[in-house]
Amino acid sequence: MIHREGYGLITWSFVFLGLLSGTTYFFGAPFWLQGFVYLLSLVMWLLIVQFFRNPKRSTPKNEKNIIAPADGKVVVIEEVEENEYFKDKRLQVSIFMSPLNVHVNRYPVSGNVEYVKYHPGLYLVAWHPKSSTDNERTTVVVKTSAGQQILFRQIAGALARRIKYYCKVGDKAEQGGEMGFIKFGSRVDLFLPTGTKVNAKLNEIVKGGETIIAELNI
């Protein structure tokens, strides 16, 4: 299944790469060069298609569960000061997405969307410590039925220069449901209440919408 964010790019890349391949044939390029261009065009197009894949996920829905909001590798688990919304200590869990990961972003919990803010910014590499506060990003806060507020942040990276989010204040968030998409290598940060039990480990590979990365104390 292909994500709707990829329809335009997949179509235009197919046309462009098809024209490129046709040009080598039309101008009588050497056979080896034609073969190389055909193969390179096919590989590039398949890489673009796989980037926009949108597999179905089976979410273990539970108000205690914090579900991974994205596919990727856990690169940060630490207590930090969250200065945008909470302005206090929170437990940060960060997931880095390489260009080969699924880039659909999902709600980690169910509840009401209480805060949404887009920030323009820089394009530091996604694992840079300041990427969470200096890069282009979108911050979303969902309040669960138990009254817990969970903040998660989409962060652009050096290659990711388009963040898409589909929520607004007042929306109902469904755990595991789609909330956005980041195009090309990026990161998602979660900010959880201190004392939250974290199941994930550093460098663990997680699946968005499926992996239970933490459990709330409720």
Alpha helix (H) residue ranges in 7-147: 7-26, 31-51, 131-134
Which H or E run includes 177? none
**Which of the residues 41, 110, 131, 186 is marked catalytic?**
186
Nearest C-alpha neighbor of 209 from the set 177, 180, 184: 177
186 given a catalytic annotation: yes
Distance CA 182, CA 69 (A): 12
Assess contact for 216 and 195: CB atoms under 8 A: no
CA 92, CA 85: separation in Å to the nearest integer?
A: 14
Q: Which residues contact 36 (CB under 8 A, 6 or more apart)?
A: none
- Catalytic center residues: 186
